[in-house]
Each structure stands twice: as C-alpha cells, then as structure tokens.
Amino acid sequence: MTHPKKISILDYTYSLPEASIAKYPLSERDASKLLIYKEEKIAEDIYKNIATHIPENSLLIFNNTKVVEARLIFQKSTGGFIEIFCLEPHEQYADITTAMLQKENVKWQCLVGGASKWKSGQVLGKKIQHEGMEIILSASYIEKRTNSFIIELSWTPDYLCFAEVLHFGGAIPLPPYIKRDVEAADAERYQTVYAEHDGSVAAPTAGLHFTENIFQSLHQKSIQKDFVTLHVGAGTFKPVKSETMLEHEMHAEWIDVSKETILNILNNIDQNIIAVGTTSLRTIESLYWMGVKAMGNRQWVMDDQSSIFLSQWEAYELSKENVSAKDALQSLLNWMTENKMGHLVTKTQILIAPGYRFKIIKGLITNFHQPQSTLLLLVAALIGKDLPTGQAGWRKIYDHALENNFRFLSYGDGCLLWAKTE
C-alpha cells in the first residue's frame, strides 16, 4: 500500500462557483440528481431510481446518527450575544451517548463566538420555553484549549437529560458554506429519515436523499440495508491547510457498531457492500483494521478504549499483515465475544487517500465534496484513475457534474461510485 503522507492537497482542488452550492434542499428528497460512475463510464438518473443501478443481494450500510441542536445562543446582561457550539463531550465521559444522557450538568468541548467578551467567572444564563415548561440553562467557562473551550452547562429541571435540553433550546448547525440563517424546515431536512442516535453536529448528507419509497424499491430487489453509527464532528469541514497530508491532523470521530451488523457484513463479504456516505465507509473500513489489531492483541480489555482506537496512519502501517476481510472481521467478533461486548464503541481517525486499498467496500453513495478536502481524497482513492484518458477519475466526475448543473455539497445532488477493480 502506497503511503499518502506525501500527497499534495493542491492536486485535489477545483473551481466551485457559488451558484453550484445548494443553499436549500429540493422539495422531494429522492428527486435529487444521481451521477453513476462505473468502469470509467458516467450515467445520470435521479435517486428515486437508485435501486435499478444496484445489483440484487447487495448490502447497503447507512449511518443512523442524529444531528443535535448544537448551537446555543446566550445574551449577556449588557445585551451582547455569545454563541456556544457544542462539538463533543469532555473526555471524562466514556462516549457521546453517556454524555448526552447526563442530567443536571455536563462538560462539553465547544467553540465560542464572542469569547473575548466573556469575562472569567461570568456565568451566562438562558431561559427556554417548551410546551409550558421553563428550562433555565447556565454556561460556565472552565478552560481554554488550543482550538476550543471546555464549558460546563447546567440546567433545571434536573430530570431532563442534555439531549433534551439541546433539542428544546438549541439550533441545528448548518455547514459554514450554506450562507443563510437556519430556518424551521432545516430541523427536518438536515436529518435523515432513519436518524436514531443523538451525537452529530453535521448530517451524514448522502443519506438525506433516501425515502421510504426508495427503501421499498431496494427491498423488492432483495437489496439489504444495515446501520452503523458514526457521530459526525465539525472536523468534517476542516480544510487541509498543510502543503502535504503529513502535516494534516485528521479528526477522530466516535463510532458505534453492533455485533450483529459486523456479522452481517462478514456474511455478505462476497456480495457488493455499498457505503451510504463517507462516514459509513470510514466506519466499515475501520472495522477491518480493528480486526487486524485484535489478532495480535488478545490482552485487550473491554473498557480500554485506547487499545481499539484506530489512528490516522495505522491502516498504512498495518497493511503488511495482508489479512483477508473474513479473517479480520472474525477476529474482531471473537474479541468482542471474549469481552462480552454487544457493541463496539470507540473512535476512528482513519484517513483514506489515494494509495489506500479498500478491504470491504465495493461502492459508495455520496454527495459532491469541497475542493481540497479529505472527503475528496477518499473519493479519489476509491475510483482511481480514468484509464481511457489517464485523468484522475474524481476530476472527470466533478467536471461532468459542474458542466451539467449538478448541485454541490450538503443539500446538493450525489453520485453512486463503484470502486476501481484491480
């Protein structure tokens, strides 16, 4: 496996006109345009017909994370506003779910707008009205870190959990490139129809196009679906500012995958396994490398989160092991059985870029991504070069999309990409 540390992000840029960025979703989720790229050929359709482009007995893996209302606005007594953007829980909590279920108070890693106007020791207060109930929410400045702040949030009534407080008093955080205010409709449309587990600050946008009608058409063709959870962090929008990938720190994100889902992937390993979204793809490919790690680390214990955590470059360092996908997944399942684990809950920092060899995934359903982003690197790794032209496959696709009025980014159109066969 070629190591991508020396990749220059300047090779993964393109001109994205403001007019091509979708500011709003279409009125019908499954009416979005769909670009299909297979064996260096491009076709077009709409999402409503996606089942016709997927072989029978395939397995689609969706990310069922739920976007939380992570933006909290506080007004100071002087009239000024402080915005708190809740990124992820303080490290004292075992995982995001545990933190979301905290009652009375919680510590959170946050971005703070107007932090320079927030004096040390000053407690901010906010009253939230919800169906006749008054919630009093307070925020205390605990610690400043390199790129964030630790904020303690406390509230009454204290029988409410933090997820409920955010739901009642926060706002959905739209991506920074959607340059408009959040509207009431975003609460529903910036959420997949199958969202279940609170924890993301950005939507797994490939899934926004899916409807119950699409699920019925997939079922009629014997195409299975299953779910993993990766809580999308704000780092998904973090631009690559370094000259090469070596200096770029990939964001780590929480994943939660059931033993049953891993077994389902193992049982379908010889079928077409398709990730719906880059988050699902990163989760599934991470399972392989965690299984490789488990083979040589039988001493791991269930509560040792650091042992199973997959760091940024670890996949490239472990590639010499040359373990089959079946053996890796079986190893992971055995390790979970030994430790009496029904779910694998940990973090992955995996960076997938050209040079990466895919172990499980055969296809990807995804939106169109920002220039010079790690998500574009992942797409480039999946589809490789376009052999007839010698051009990078991603560039051929993006040129076509721009020339044919596809809508880009979170609320835009998408594509079904088949992995390059060797």
Tokens 């040359």 -> residue = 322
The Cα 372–Cα 240 span in angstroms is 6
Same domain, 338 and 223: yes
Residue 301 has pLDDT above 70, yes or no: no
Same domain, 83 and 231: no
Residue 298 has pLDDT above 60, yes or no: no
Percent of the chain, pLDDT > 70? 96
Same domain, 54 and 83: no
* CATH number for the domain that contains residue 246: 3.40.1780.10
Lowest mean per-residue pLDDT among 31-45, 51-65, 74-88, 265-279: 74-88
Task: Report if residue 179 sits inside a domain.
Answer: no
CA atoms within 13 A on the CB side of 46: 9
Percent of the chain, pLDDT > 90? 79
Report angle CA 363, 368, 371 to the nearest 5 degrees. Answer: 120
Task: Report if residue 108 sits inside a domain.
Answer: yes
pLDDT at residue 299, as a whole number: 47
Same domain, 159 and 250: no
Question: What's the domain count of the chain?
Answer: 2
Tell me the residue range of the domain where 145 lies.
70-171
CA atoms within 13 A on the CB side of 272: 19
295: three-class secondary structure by DSSP: helix
pLDDT at residue 304, as a whole number: 53
Same domain, 314 and 203: yes
pLDDT tens by residue, 328-351? 999 999 999 988 999 999 999 999
Same domain, 157 and 252: no
Q: What is the mean pLDDT of residues 290-298?
A: 81
116 pLDDT tier (thresholds 50, 70, 90): confident
Burial (CB < 10 A; 0-12, 13-18, 19+), residue 131, is exposed
Task: Report if residue 180 sits inside a domain.
Answer: no
Q: What is the mean pLDDT of residues 391-403?
A: 95
Same domain, 216 and 347: yes
Same domain, 248 and 326: yes
Task: Report if residue 177 sits inside a domain.
Answer: no
The Cα 318–Cα 355 span in angstroms is 14
222: three-class secondary structure by DSSP: coil
Residue 302 has pLDDT above 80, yes or no: no
Task: Report if residue 182 sits inside a domain.
Answer: no
Same domain, 264 and 382: yes
Same domain, 49 and 89: no
CA dihedral 223, 224, 227, 233 (to 10 degrees): -10
Task: Report if residue 60 sits inside a domain.
Answer: yes
Identify the domain boundary among 140, 171, 202.
Answer: 171
Same domain, 273 and 147: no
What average pLDDT does the structure give for the chain?
92
Closest CA to 84 of 21, 159, 160, 165: 165
Task: Report if residue 354 sits inside a domain.
Answer: yes
Residue 225 has pLDDT above 70, yes or no: yes
Same domain, 251 and 396: yes
Task: Report if residue 17 sits inside a domain.
Answer: yes
